[in-house]
Amino acid sequence: MFKLPKLPYKLDALAPHIGADTMEVHYKKHHQGYTDKLNAAIKGVEAAKGKSAIELISKINDLPLEVRKAVRNNGGGYVNHTMFWESMTADGKDEPDGELAAAITENFGSFTAFQEEFAAAASGRFGSGWAWLLMNDLGKLAVGSTPNQDNPLMDISELDGTPILGLDVWEHAYYLNYQNKRGDYITAFWNIVNWDKVAERYTESKK
């Protein structure tokens, strides 16, 4: 059984960029909902036994046909949100440093150019989904987006790689703070990125 992971800060910690009212619903209702529905979907499924959530979503095609859609949506939701909460902090750095900063400059030209590309992926996703900074299969940093709760780790995802930073662009992630202005939410996100955590994932993705 999967459990709702503990939030690494208080519900109001990310305000004013993401308010406590948004966090309350997003974490306690949406993330809890994905958790509960993932558990319900894999109950009694032999192929899912003993697997981590990441293992499950990485090999959705290994699961029985009748549970694949539920694991794609809710396993994806479970993993994506767990990663999302960890990717934010109230007292992070303005920009990445060290090896990650160097890799971003090498791949995108500059940190600003990376931010523009990431924002374009986030605002260009029609409907609900996620924007990602990921390590692709060629060992290069790349930006992209996925629909719904798809994650680049999924065997059935249109975008392949190891995600190191994700931004939830479902309306439930920003509507109370920004209404229809997704662009303002994306801009505010840069104030609360946990670059140390992203750097840790970057290092891990190179192994």
Instruction: Strands of 13-140 (E only): list them.
Output: 129-135
CA angle 189, 71, 37 (to 5 degrees): 85
Least CB distance to Mn ion at residue 81 (A): 6
Output the six-digit token pair for 166: 């994700």
Phi, psi of 135, deg, nearest 5: -95, 120
Nearest CB to Mn ion, comparing residues 141 and 167: 167
Q: Which stretch binds Mn ion (CB under 5 A): 15-23, 108-116, 165-173, 198-206?
A: 165-173
Interface residue with Mn ion among 14, 168, 195, 201 (CB under 5 A) is 168
Binding marks (x or -) toward Mn ion, 93..122, rule CB under 5 A?
------------------------------
| Least distance to Mn ion, CB of residue 173, Å | 5
**Which of 34, 114, 170, 174 lies at the binding interface for Mn ion (CB under 5 A)?**
170
Contact by Cβ (8 Å): 170, 128: yes
Binding segment (CB under 5 A) for Mn ion, from list 16-24, 119-127, 171-179, 193-201: 171-179
- Could you tell me how many residues of this chain bind Mn ion (CB under 5 A)? 3
Token digits for 93?
Answer: 């750095």
Nearer to Mn ion, 126 or 207 (CB): 126
Q: Are 76 and 154 in contact (CB under 8 A)?
A: yes
- Which of 7, 53, 52 lies closest to 26 in space, CA to CA? 7
Vertex 167: Cα angle to 28 and 148 (nearest 5) = 75
Q: In this complex, which beta carbon is closest to Mn ion, that of residue 170 or of residue 178? A: 170
Tell me the two tokens of residue 99. Answer: 């090896």
Q: Which stretch binds Mn ion (CB under 5 A): 100-108, 157-165, 167-175, 178-186?
A: 167-175
Q: Are 183 and 123 in contact (CB under 8 A)?
A: yes
Interaction of residue 150 with Mn ion, rule CB under 5 A: no
Interface contacts to Mn ion, rule CB under 5 A: 168, 170, 173
